[in-house]
């Protein structure tokens, strides 16, 4: 009997691919968020979350980086995205100026390290932050997604202690 191949393996939290070629399962990007899995801050502090990316499949590919936020009782919401052309876009409530002034998404090392800063933390900023990265390149004159991956951390925000 031939070997059994489980295509679901390797596609869990690391990501999914746009297509399967023969029996090859697309390799996922390795995405890690730090600090984590839980990080504590005081209200009013500035938080910086790092999204590390490695194991790109193609040298010439570009990355689209999205940060999502979720509280335990709510759905994941897209906050901010850096497009494959490195343009930063804000979404939903996060596109309002009050939020935009408190959020910064920067590419620290091209294709490898992205930082999300949340300035002047509030209790409402407490929750899960998820970095989702998609690897994209031109293939036969069309943009194609080759692989993606994601990682998360939980941020807790505590009221400052008054003595």
Tokens of 48: 């910086």
Cβ pair 127, 69 in contact under 8 A: yes
* Dist CA 162 CA 74 (whole Å): 31
> Over the chain, what is the mean pLDDT?
83
Cβ pair 149, 51 in contact under 8 A: no
- Other beta carbons less than 10 A from residue 106's beta carbon: 12
pLDDT value of residue 144: 84
Tell the CATH topology of 33-158.
Answer: Immunoglobulin-like (2.60.40)
Q: Which residues of the chain have pLDDT under 70?
A: 1-27, 161-163
pLDDT value of residue 143: 86
pLDDT value of residue 138: 83
**CA neighbor of 116 nearest in space, from 47, 54, 70, 62:** 47
pLDDT value of residue 55: 85
pLDDT value of residue 78: 97
Taking the model in full, what pTM does it have?
0.80
């Amino acid at each position: 009997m031939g070997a059994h191949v489980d295509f679901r393996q390797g596609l869990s939290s690391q990501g999914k691919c746009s297509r399967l070629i023969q029996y090859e399962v697309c390799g996922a990007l390795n995405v890690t968020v730090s600090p984590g899995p839980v990080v504590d801050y005081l209200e009013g502090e500035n938080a910086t979350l790092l999204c590390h990316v490695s194991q790109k499949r193609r040298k010439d590919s570009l990355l689209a980086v999205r940060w999502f936020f979720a509280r335990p009782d709510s759905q994941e919401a897209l906050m901010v995205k850096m497009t494959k052309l490195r343009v930063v876009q804000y979404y939903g409530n996060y596109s309002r100026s009050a939020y935009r002034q408190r959020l910064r998404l920067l590419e620290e090392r091209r294709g490898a390290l992205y930082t999300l800063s949340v300035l002047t933390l509030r209790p409402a900023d407490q929750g899960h932050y998820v970095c989702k990265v998609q690897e994209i390149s031109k293939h036969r004159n069309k943009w194609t997604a080759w692989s993606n991956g994601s990682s998360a951390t939980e941020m807790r925000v505590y009221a400052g202690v008054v003595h």
